[in-house]
Chains A and B, each alone.
Chain A
Amino acid sequence: MNGAPLDRRGLLRGAGLGLGALALADILGAQEGARTRALQHAPRAKRIIYLFQAGGPSQFETFDHKPGLRALHGRPLPDSVRAGQRLTGMSGNQAVLPIAASFASFARHGESGLEVSELLPHTGRIADRLCVLRAVHTEAINHDPAITFLCSGSQIAGRPSLGSWLSYGLGSLNADLPAFVVLVSKDAIRDQPLYARLWGAGLLPSEHQGVQFRAGKEPVLFLGDPEGVGRDARRAMLDALARMGRDASTRERDPEIEARIAQAELAFRMQASVPEATDTSSENDATFELYGAGARDPGTFAANCLLARRLVERGVRFVQLFHQGWDQHGGLPGGIAHQCGQTDQASAALVQDLAARGLLDDTLVIWGGEFGRTTYCQGRMTAGDYGRDHHPRCFSMWLAGGGVRAGHVHGATDEFSYNIVDGGVHVHDLHATVLHLLGIDHERLTWLYQGRHFRLTDVAGRVVREMLA
């Protein structure tokens, strides 16, 4: 049914990959119009690396400095702040909600004077490249619906993920690599699980689903030829297959057959291009040092950041890293220090590395989780220890490169970082803005299913102009 992608890719390749070439795609399939019309303006970014921090990193110990809470530490959260907003079933039944001040201190960095926690020293050093959002808000209060919402614009399972929308809307810049690659840190604390739906294609054809690259000798499932089968043998098999296919094609006159032959050829090329892309042995020592400990160990967050850079260099449209372990209901100080220690250097290194290679201008880097955490303590509170529950009303993220305003903070929260005071960015707004940076009008990138034009941003979303450079 969907044989067109290959033709489209072929056409795009022939046309020199320019986005304008997509106009040609308009005639190739019933829904193609939706995506062509989505391209409304020149893109600022061509590709994205999304460093997803799964579990809900606390804003208090990272980017939202609330020095005023020191004086209130241990005191109950005033009812007027919460104003009856719902809590999760985990802390919602606590008899008291005592305020917990951050144990971490903050310092100002760079010309922008961005306040960053001491737990993120490397991130502090790239302060002037960051656009920090302090007032992102979401609708879900538990991990599964919330991370599904961030990744697909809906809490309901089955909607296309951000990356699959991009694959559908923009395609790949390299026909020998998938448009959408997913990397999951192997060194993370698996406190909250991940789900394939976070990179699934949902309603879109499954060719747009994210392809997970795994650490180890077979980065893509079934990439390697079976034992005993060499490259020459595989080449001979594909030649025979193509011959048989052409024979069938002469008989059947079904264009799907030619398409499948071409896909088999693409598979053959992927068998070379993927290992080449994932093999970091050609990187120099300075690069490994930049990304820090773990960069030489495939599958770690640091190694995945480096790999992400290699992938976007080679034309992968969207690389999404997932790093679990940010769900500190208890023991937050120790837990978050560990998380920051695992991710800080490599995240900053990625931005620096992209900048050094001239890629940052048109590569958008996004850092953030699915929600923030409560100003009050969940569970036991001692002199040096506390926990925080989920908080969807405000949390911090950062973006860098790809047309966002550098050295800028957008949005502000109240003194408790409980409610938004200014510059709120809803998840739909974030998605609308990200698509805008890629040259896409979020209202026009649609897929008709069950009679409805589905969008990443549902029926909402506003491009946050203040974030744009």
Chain B
Amino acid sequence: MIPFPLAGQALATREVVAPPSDIPSGAVCLPSPEADASVSSAAVVSRLGGERGAVGAHGVGRTRTVAILATLLTTVACATLVHERRIEQALRFDRDVRAILADRCFSCHGPDEEKRKAGLRLDLEDGAREALEGGANSEFARRVASHDADEVMPPPKLKRPLSDAQRATLLRWASEGAAYMPHWAFVAPRKVEPPRTRNASWARDELDLHVLAALERAGLAPQPEADPRLLLRRASLVLTGLPPTPDEAEAFARDPSASEFARRVDAMLASARAAEHTATTWLDLARYADTHGYQTDGGSFTWPWRDWLLSALQSNMPYDQFVRAVLAGDLQPEADLGQRVATGFHRLHRMTEEGGSIAEEFRQEGIADRVGTFGTTFLGLTLECARCHDHKFDPLPTREFYALAAMFGSIDENGLKSYALPVNAPPPFVRLASEEQRLREQELRAALEQAQAQLALRRAEARTRLQSVRLAATAMQAPPPDAHWAFESLENGLVANLVTGAPPASVDRRRPEQLGQFALGEGKSGAGASFDGDGGLLLDGLAGFGRHDEISIALWIRPSERNARAAIVHASGFYTQDADASGIELELVDGHVRWSAIHFWPGSAASVRMREPLPLDIWTHLVVSYDGSSRASGLRIFVNGVPEIVEVVRDGLDGPLAGHTLELGSRSRGSGFRGGAIDELRVWKRALSSVQARELAILDGLGVAPGEFEAFEEHFAETLDEGVAAARAAVRSAQRELAAHLDGIPAFACMQDSAFAPPTFVLRRGAYDQPDASAAVAPGALEAVLPFDASLPRNREGLVRWMLDPRNPLVARVAVNRLWAQVFGRGLVETSENFGLQGSFPSNPELLDALAVDFARGDGTPQSAWNMRALLRRLVLSSTFRQDSRASTEKRALDPDNALLSRGPSVRMSAEMLRDSALAASGLLVEKLGGPSVRPWQPEGLWSDAGQNGHYQPDSGENAHRRSLYTFRKRTVPVPDMSVFDAGTREACMTRRGTTNTPLQTLAILNDPVFVECARALAERAAREAGTRVTRVERAFALACTRAPTSEESNALLELIASEVERFDADFEGARKLVGTPDAELAALALACSTILASDGAMVVR
């Protein structure tokens, strides 16, 4: 039923990328960990004491390198403490200076024109020239160095004074001539010759040369290669999120050759596990969850996007194709289902269904979310800053934010989910048809076309016959209506229906919020219906009109004001405004008659409206008809007997109508017909012809000019000719069958441009209700990044081409950095969410650029460009990755965050990896690709205790043990063992997670029933697979940690078991509670397993 039946799908062809042949492999130099201890320990002290928060301190994590550099640059203060090689480094504007200017100066002297003080602009060389003239004696230097509170810059009221180190840097820069450089990230990456290194045998890959050169500059040497078991474990964890089995590790330890490692890495990369692991990063970026995120936070149908993602990753879709599918899949010629679903990326943001929400507010929130998510994910820019004002730090003006808003606001939706309707996919959507369903649709469409051809034939025949027929006057009249109210009396809240046997209309809307009262007043003849805007009538008996049902309504109508919105006849409430409107709907909008058939407004509706407003204070004869065709052309309006030329408001009805009972003159939480009057309301369950509408007006006392001959033709054919009637019935029947088929196929919200999408305006201060309506904003991109070529289409496809242009400086770097972070635990640009001026400087810019160029360009062979799998392979096979993660205390002090890559990576596993690895080690893990999200066990009452409605019903069976990326994510009630391990709420785009360390984490690992179950199963498995206490401990440890325990670890666990066996021997009941059987040995082993799962060896990638 679902288009991505990944389960059971054949694995993608294994792709083997040959390592670059010019890189020597083999002999590895093994410097001792202590080799780098030459650096004075005083330098370490100075670093700790230095101004750490000053430069480039960033959200999650620390940028010690930059801080170190800042410290080093205060050469005056601590020259003697600093390693000599560092001092030689010249001041570099883009690395050392701009970050200070950006953080402390640009908010007043930067790109934001409105906030700029004294006309001074320090972000541009031209704007700053005057202030910097005179170097050390410049106005700039004087103000920065000043001790006078009125003079000093930045001013004290900014409350972020310069540190001594920062001040020294700025003064040195000014005195050295104040050279500017463009921001590194806005200059296209360029590959430089790989650096020469003293150690000629260590590098396997060009990337190693960059790393090694940086290490040598810092006086450091790389670590020796890690133990093969741990290397395999590390590779497996960073590529697949799961550890290898002990047997795999031992086999590799027996043959740890480069070719064997490459073979195993290739197998990992080709596995579904790898797709599942890498997907998590993308799910964070896509703010992917299973609920819509606001207020009641009900379910949202999103998992097909996750499955598309898995299929794209597993087939190693090149990144350029991936970007194109995600951002503009729908715009591709003959876009396939996968490409349509991929665009769901931009429909995964939160949506509200809270009653009373203002549609435009949430439409704009959604668009801003798309722009921000796009910027963070693909450009590494903080575009959202430019929503309200020009970006304070980066050259991103507000109008360019809205140029991107025009790109992503091009779909026809109003930002709200429905409160009352079970609509999972607010249009636009694509139906997720299986191949079988698609074939069936083709059949049904063919049948419909045939029926339509028949109808055309019958109509033509009928028209020929009309030449010889003379119509009797009675044949032109409308048949008796199905309901008729003359509004002459109101008794017991009822208005009589003049059609025999038809139910009366009633004033009771059965809702408490009715404020006003329906009443009778002066009618067209005698009494009539009079409305106050709140009170109305329920037209009992008139319900269930579907999209292929005919209907006509005739009435006299007299508005007394030009109503902005006034419900005349409709079938829905207005809880979340038009998002709840479904059914047929006759309204006044700004005084104009609007006549609609609505599935979900605005993206799935047919609607027309009169060009002129209804006249006030006089009676107008109105007939509206709908022929059941689902098209705007089937909606007709007759005013005083004359067909009205209408404007098409919407013409894309693509789903069922809710079909509640029709209501007259009022609407729950919507505007009723305030000040209006209606008389002689008649309803037919058929479409009247224009001749009948005309005759109706004549009968009702209006003098109407004779109709055109075409009208008689139509009347005769549609109303009197039996052949046409039969053919028309056949068409409706074919339409109903097709609709029933389509409506049975799940719809999935995606992107689809619409001519009806509202134009984009710059919003003042970002406020939805303050558009600068003087000029609509055309779609566009970011000039400072790369001018938008005039030849590109001004749509999302054009945007993708702009992104993939080799001159685009950001896209490849951001992608490479993300994959680097997946492998090494942190990006070369640590602030992977921000490559702008306030972002951190790359720890190794030449390396980042070389990788980015190679990534985008490939090696000239097919499929080598934008090849994510090949890049991951390259990173994991590098000498840099293979290093031992252990290092001396001294080396750690010099490279505390491993920014220089002086050792192998080590990072605490993510929430998903922790649970999945525990499940895998214990043998409980159920590996099954894709499908609906699953509900593993969660604490009873979790949702209600958190103040949310709804109840979490855990799944039983295999769904309890699927990988964590499939776990149902409710945005307002995060999964506890995920949020404790920093998994985030998926309310907004997230590029990297924190790795906090809290007591709640220990409680989760040791006490969460999921982990306790894993410990028990791990113990059972170890007991099954090994015979003695010692071997069982070794087995369990190896299953969880992929290595043998050290003797100390082993002893600790064995002593634990010994003491606990004794305890359980005296408490069989306790053992039974823990492991289900009164087996003290097993219970004690389970406690040991629990301890293993909480240990460093199991929780940390090393």
Contacts and interface: CB of A to CB of B under 8 A. Distances in A.
A237 B1063 CA distance: 13
A403 B1097 CA distance: 50
A421 interface: no
A197 B972 contact: yes
A86 B160 CA distance: 38
A224 interface: yes
A381 interface: yes
A93 interface: yes
A450 B64 contact: no
B1009 interface: yes
Contacts of B271: none
A86 B769 contact: yes
A31 B57 contact: yes
B1056 interface: yes
A141 interface: yes
Contacts of A16: none
Contacts of A118: none
B635 interface: no
A98 B517 CA distance: 14
Interface string A241-263: 10111011001111011011001
Interface in B730-778: 769
A62 interface: no
Contacts of B394: 451
Given A1-B60, A240-B1052, A96 B532 contact: yes
Contacts of A390: 356
Contacts of B1055: 240
A193 B944 CA distance: 9
A273 B384 CA distance: 43
Contacts, number: 361
B999 A267 contact: yes
Contact of A205 (B908, B974, B994): B994
B280 interface: no
A178 B294 CA distance: 27
Nearest to B1095: A244
Interface in A401-447: 441, 443-444, 447
Given A93-B671, A96-B532, A212-B945, A1 B994 contact: yes
Interface stretch (B71-79, B243-251, B979-987): B979-987
Contacts of B59: 203, 447-450
A30 B64 contact: yes
B974 A270 contact: no
A196 B356 contact: no
A330 B513 CA distance: 7
Given A143-B295, A450-B833, A232 B1063 contact: yes
Contacts of B831: 450-451
A214 to B, nearest CB: 5
Contact of B293 (A95, A157, A237, A264): A157
Contact of A206 (B295, B994, B1074): B994
Contacts of B949: 190, 193
A241 B674 contact: no
Question: What's the interface size class on B, roughly?
Answer: 35 or more
A193 B838 contact: no
Interface string B46-70: 0011011110011111111001000
A206 B983 CA distance: 9
Contacts of A441: 159
A322 interface: yes
A206 B996 contact: yes
A18 interface: no
A226 B1074 contact: yes
B354 interface: yes
B838 A452 contact: yes
Interface stretch (B397-405, B421-429, B541-549, B1000-1008): B1000-1008
B1071 interface: yes
B997 A196 contact: no
A17 interface: no
Nearest to A213: B945
Interface in A22-40: 26-27, 29-34, 37
Contacts of B1102: 252
A444 B53 CA distance: 13
B1091 interface: yes
Contacts of A94: 515, 533-534
A380 B382 contact: no
A98 B160 CA distance: 52
Interface in A210-254: 211-212, 214-215, 218, 220-230, 232-234, 236-237, 239-241, 243-245, 247-248, 251-254
A263 B1002 contact: yes
A96 B535 CA distance: 11
Contact of A377 (B515, B908, B1012, B1053): B515
Contact of A142 (B356, B669, B944, B1094): B356
B1070 A228 contact: yes
A443 B1009 CA distance: 43
Interface in A140-196: 141-144, 156-158, 184, 186, 190, 192-196
17 contacts: A89-B576, A90-B356, A98-B515, A157-B988, A194-B947, A218-B939, A221-B1004, A222-B1007, A237-B1087, A240-B1091, A243-B1048, A256-B997, A267-B1006, A449-B58, A450-B834, A451-B385, A452-B382
Given A194-B948, A236-B1087, A449-B59, 14 more contacts: A30-B52, A32-B53, A90-B575, A93-B672, A96-B515, A184-B947, A193-B296, A214-B941, A222-B1000, A233-B1087, A256-B997, A266-B1002, A380-B512, A390-B356
Query: Lowest 8 A-B CB distances belong to which pairs?
Result: A95-B533, A451-B838, A194-B947, A379-B513, A228-B1074, A33-B53, A228-B1073, A88-B356
